[in-house]
A and B are shown apart, each in its own frame.
Chain A
Amino acid sequence: MKSMKRKIGVFTPLLYVGPAVLFLLVYQVYPALQTVYLSFLDRRSQSFVGLENYKYVFTSPTMLRAFKNNLLWLVLFTAGTVGLGLLFAILVDRVRYERIAKSIIFMPMAISFVGAGVVWKFMYAYKPTDAQQIGLLNQILVVLGFEPKGWLLESPLNNLALIVVGLWIWTGYCMVILSAAYKGIPKELLEAGQVDGANDWQVFRHIIVPEMRPALTMVTTTMLVNVLKIFDIIYVMTNGNFGTEVIANRMFKEMFQFANTGRASAIAVVLFVMIIPIMYANIRQKLKGEGAR
């Protein structure tokens, strides 16, 4: 066998792998290391300030607000996307119009977060009580006899309103991946459960969930990383005003609005450190899947 293998020197592989590695060094490895270094320098990267920037990240009210909001996002967005995605994945399997239902729920994944932001900003549009409402949600409130609400203005309601937009975008992604995994469960296994007299809940709890664990881990970790990096929705809909700030938006503001390189770098590093364990679990799952093929 060995003699049939092509003989290659050191140079040939470099022609194939080299360009990509060069890009990674310039656009990822070097900048990431540089960012860690910059996080210990002042706003203009001129003098060393020790942990000053990190102290700001973990103690300033603005940053604490952002962490709190991100935590709210983390819990509600992740539980919502994965939970609804799983529910839809199982339910659409039992209707005849499965394809169209999936297409519709998956569609927001195709459009930009900016586009989705405008779509929902319009849904949330607010007019005073005596004026004709043009936002659907406030119209529904008025019809039901309630006062219209400033969905994006009142905290903490606005955070929930933004999270709903996130759910609308990402649930389809979870559904598509979980649906593929659900269809991979051997039919005999599900039927065996029913023959043994288990009800839908028991089948779900003891057969479906354990069988889908790899896909669930994959999807959950992907959503966790997404939520930590969430930026566009907030940038377009509230720009972090009215108490809706999140970590990624803070970094952007420190970078451009306040031109504080030190703080922006420290925020990036903290974000990175939070992402590491989640991505580790995510990639391990992906590599495992690859090995199993």
Chain B
Amino acid sequence: MTRQKLKAKMPQIVINLVVILAMVLWIVPTLGLLITSFRPASDVVYSGWWTVLTSPLKFTQYTVENYRMVLSSGGMSTAFRNSFVITIGGTVIPVFLAALAAFGLSKLHFRGRGFFYALIVFMLVVPTQMTFIPVLRLYNKLSLSGTFVGLWLVHTGYGLPFSIFMLHSFFQGLPDELFEAAYIDGASLWTSFIRLAIPLSVPALASLVIFQFLFVWNDLLVALIYLGGHESVAPLTMRLSSLVGSFGQDWHLLTAAAFVSMVVPLIVFFSLQQYFVRGLLGGAVKG
């Protein structure tokens, strides 16, 4: 036997098997949900979703009735609108303020900026749980609980440390000479922020926007804390989790509702995956 053969090499076939098995394990649960959401209630109760796989193209076994139900009486259409309103404000405000702050911290030379930066980095450590009770009390006093504005501001407060951290490291990479040249050409600070820093950081901003968008869209806990039981302002995640309680075993409705809550993030994910990954890496390993 040669030395070569003694080596423990993982054969290509084993690698393929493991990867394909992983892909199946990761896709099957979502597939089951998707199929079930299009099956009539009577079928869902009496047979497993996998039974359609024997004749997947028999279209008479599918229905959109479940979606019609959850969007009308299930309140998912209101929740859908609420999710959009909450997420847009909860993304635009923190990203804009973070860009301002990151620009100030990386491109302006002023006393105390080291301290401010350290403060922001330290805030990454504080779990949001540490803030719930006092902020909620403040909100009750100011009548901000149960409002979209209140939720926008709270997502801003919670999203800022990470956003500033990420944009700061990006702005640091922009050469100072560029901004000095702009100064010599007579550009105001605001102009060099809007016309220079922002356009140059579009990739980083895009990553951050997608990241924050998905984060806010998928948030449950913050909404539960600050929206109270107000159905009229509840986002999809909150509505869905209360349907889990009320629909219980009505899987045809629950699966449809779950898919309604997933469709936007899935579109964002599959169309903008590169930016999303870059955003993750921006906050993690630096390239």
Residues of A within 8 A of B (CB): 4-6, 8, 10, 12-13, 15-17, 19-21, 23-24, 26-32, 34-35, 38, 84, 87-88, 91-92, 94-95, 97, 100-101, 103-115, 117-123, 125, 132-136, 139, 168, 172-173, 176-177, 180-181, 184, 197, 199-201, 214-215, 218-219, 222, 225, 228-229, 231-232, 235-236, 248, 251-252, 255, 261, 264-265, 267-269, 271-272, 275-276, 279-280, 283, 286-287, 289-290, 292-293
Contact = CB atoms under 8 A, between A and B. Distances in A.
A271 to B, nearest CB: 6
A261 B18 CA distance: 49
Interface string B159-197: 011001100010011000001100110000100010000
B71 interface: no
B129 A31 contact: no
- The binding surface of chain B is classed by DSSP as helix
Contacts of B154: 27
Contacts, number: 318
A3 to B, nearest CB: 10
Contact of A280 (B123, B125, B255): B125
Interface residues of B, number: 110
B29 A20 contact: no
Nearest to B251: A122
A199 B189 contact: no
A10 B42 CA distance: 70
B109 A132 contact: no
A29 B131 CA distance: 8
- The binding surface of chain A is classed by DSSP as helix
A133 B48 contact: yes
Contact of A286 (B36, B46, B284): B284
27 contacts: A5-B183, A15-B104, A19-B101, A23-B160, A24-B161, A27-B154, A31-B135, A38-B134, A88-B22, A95-B16, A100-B23, A104-B23, A105-B26, A109-B269, A110-B269, A115-B218, A118-B33, A134-B45, A136-B32, A136-B48, A168-B25, A168-B29, A172-B26, A268-B133, A279-B125, A286-B284, A293-B286
A77 B217 CA distance: 24
A245 to B, nearest CB: 15
Interface stretch (B6-14, B55-63, B198-206): B6-14
Closest 8 CB pairs of A and B: A27-B157, A16-B104, A110-B269, A112-B218, A20-B101, A31-B131, A31-B134, A34-B134
Contacts of A265: 133
Nearest to B184: A4
Interface in B228-287: 236-237, 240-241, 244, 251, 254-255, 257-258, 261-262, 265-266, 268-270, 273, 276-277, 280-281, 283-287
B26 A176 contact: no
A166 B37 CA distance: 23
B44 interface: yes
Contacts of B184: 4
A121 B125 contact: no
Question: Which of A32, A114, A135 has its CB near the most chain B CB atoms (within 10 A)?
Answer: A114
A31 B133 CA distance: 8
Given A15-B100, A122-B255, A290-B172, 17 more contacts: A6-B179, A17-B101, A20-B164, A35-B133, A84-B22, A88-B22, A110-B266, A112-B262, A115-B218, A115-B262, A122-B29, A136-B50, A172-B26, A218-B284, A219-B284, A229-B129, A283-B121
B220 A113 contact: yes
Given A110-B268, A114-B220, A290-B169, A200 B131 contact: no
A172 B98 CA distance: 27
B124 to A, nearest CB: 6
A197 B27 CA distance: 38
B127 A103 contact: no
A87 B17 CA distance: 13
Contacts of A91: 15, 18-19
Contacts of A181: 285
Nearest to B177: A4
A103 B23 CA distance: 9
A110 B12 contact: no
Contact of B44 (A95, A134, A180, A279): A134
A20 to B, nearest CB: 4
A35 B131 CA distance: 7
Nearest to B110: A13
Interface string B139-172: 0000000000000011011101100110001001
A13 B103 CA distance: 10
A115 B240 contact: yes
Given A28-B131, A94-B15, A289-B285, A12 B108 contact: yes
A119 B130 contact: no
A255 B132 contact: yes
Contact of A35 (B111, B113, B116, B130): B130
